[in-house]
Each structure stands twice: as C-alpha cells, then as structure tokens.
Amino acid sequence: MPTRTLPGTDLDVHPLCLGGNVFGWTADAGQSFALLDDYADAGGNFVDTADSYMWRVPGNSGGESERIIGDWMAARGNRDRMVLATKVGSWPERPGLSGANITAAVQDSLRRLRTDRIDLYYAHRDDPDTPLEETVAAFDALVRAGTVRYVAASNYEAPRLAEALDIAERNGLARFVALQPHYNLVERDYELGLGPLLAQRGLSCLPYYGLAKGFLSGKYAADTNVESVRSDAAREYLDQRGRRVLAALAEVAAAHRVAPAAVALAWLADRHTVSTPIASARTREQLAELLAMTGLALSADESAELTAASEPVAGPDPT
C-alpha cells in the first residue's frame, strides 16, 4: 500500500488515518480490536486518538481509547509499524496546555498506550490562559527527550497558529508540523485562513470529521431513519446544499462502484495541503467502505463537480 510522508517529518503514513474516537464508545474493546486488525491487514499504520476520548460517555472517565489501542498493540506486537497520534489539553482531568500539564499528561498517555514514545503529539485545542511560549517550550522538551517525535496542533485559529510557529522558529524550538482542523465537503471554512497559512509555512493538514459526522456516508435522507448516536448532528447538514452534495457524491460513487464515503474522503485527500484525512468506523463493513478511498482516483471533472456542489448556497435556504 502506497504511503505518504508527512511534510517536515520522516513519518510514512497510510492514506487514511483511522480515528480512535469511537473506541470505548460506539465500539467496545472487542469491536475495536476487530477494526484495528482489519485496518492493519489492509496496510493501515496511522491511528489517531486523544487522552480525553471518551470521557463524556456515561460510565467512562477518559483515556478509554488510548487504553484499547495500547492493549491492541501489545497483543499484536506491532507498535514499531504503527504511527501513533494522540492529544493533550481538552480532558478535564488534564486540562490546558501549561508546561506542567503537558509533562504530566504525556506520561499518562504513554502508560495507557503501553509505549515509550508518541509519534505525533497534538495540542488538542488552543489554551488562551497559558502563554504560547510556555506551551511551545514544553512540547520542545518532549521532543528533545525522545518522548515525542513530532508535535502538532488541533483546533487553532490562524493568528494563534502563526504566532506559535514564529515563537518556535525564533527560539530554535520544535515547531508544529501539522494541523488537525474541522474540514470536509460541507465544512470548508478551513480554506479561508488556515489553508493558505499551512501552504505558506509548510504544514500538513490532517482533517477530522472527514465525513461530517457521518453525513457524507450517503445514508442520510429526509425520509430515512438512521440508527446512530451522531444522526441528529449529521441531519443538520440536510439542507439544499447538503442534498446537492449528496447527489454529486452518489453520482461519482456509482461511476466508481464505491460508497459515497470513499468519494468524500478521496476529494478531501486531493485538496491542497491535505496529507491524510481522518475518519472513524463503528463496524467492519463501514471501515471497508472507507478503505476503498485508497485506490480511488477522482478525475479533474469529478473533483470540480464535488467542489461546485459544496459551494455555499446564495441567499436564504428554502428548506
């Protein structure tokens, strides 16, 4: 399976990053192991999680996803072939991006993941209460110690991301090599400010919610009931523009004999600055549909058709 090297790193990753946000939530440990096995068997090697996954779920306290991934790697003996990404800063047990919290949180994550290093460590979200200098220095210390190979950011606005990059470069510290933003066919604000910044500064984009909480899977329609914990959130996209996007996805998917989800991810993977989209699956069947994106090459006309369908609707939406 062809891999992609994340710019500014020596990390060679699969074209699809498997999101671990469902592990310990809609997929229990056994189901998660099966998903991870299928992904690895298909050549997958890039898994994304966070210390906060999934503390909001009743009965959970946080760290469940990391524990499942750590147990799976230990059981399979495959840590060295996996590229492991996790995050710090949004879990109430370890909130914020102070130097002390980052130093403590990474050790907690390492224990849960049953490893001695993290390949890509994200600031999960900006922390306006902590000076960026302190956050950048704390991440740099982890890189110098070998605990973390590379650092990245998630949910940062362009001005703060640029400032963090400037601080790192000015002081010779490890800088963010990637950004994980909310970006997909129906969420395109990234293109306005963050996209140009990443292109200018040479960062990778690894977008989350690549399927818009499942909406771009094509299973949502006005008269269709979908059993999913995300169904209400996904249905928020079911307006005039959303229907137009679904119609375009269905047309392209039919031409290639793949699921609409694979087309949505292939479109995202082709966007400027995007290295690897992130998507999660609750079932093995869903994962198989997503993995079809790795062999899917959209034509210029198909990509343009999808882009045009997802442009904002002019004037009030009649639906």
Per the annotation, the verdict on 53 as an active-site residue is yes
The catalytically annotated residue of 39, 53, 122, 209 is 53
Cis peptide before 82 (omega within 30 of 0): no
> Which residues have a Cβ under 8 Å from the Cβ of 88 and sit 6 or more positions away?
50, 51, 94, 97, 101, 102, 105, 106, 109, 121, 122, 123, 124
Those residues whose C-beta lies under 8 Å from the C-beta of residue 232, and which sit 6 or more positions away, are none
- For the beta carbon of residue 293, count every other beta carbon within 10 angstroms: 24
Q: Please spell the DSSP secondary structure of the chain, one letter per residue.
A: ---EEPTTS--EE-SSEEE-TTBTTTB-HHHHHHHHHHHHHTT--EEE--TTTTTTSTT--S-HHHHHHHHHHHHHT-GGG-EEEEEEBEETTEES--HHHHHHHHHHHHHHHT-S-EEEEEE-S--TTS-HHHHHHHHHHHHHHTSEEEEEEES--HHHHHHHHHHHHHHT---EEEEE-B-BTTB-GGGTTHHHHHHHHT-EE--B-TTGGGGGGS---TT-----TTHHHHHTT-SHHHHHHHHHHHHHHHHHTS-HHHHHHHHHHTSTTB---EE--SSHHHHHHHHGGGG----HHHHHHHHHHTSPPSS----
Residues annotated catalytic, as ranges: 53
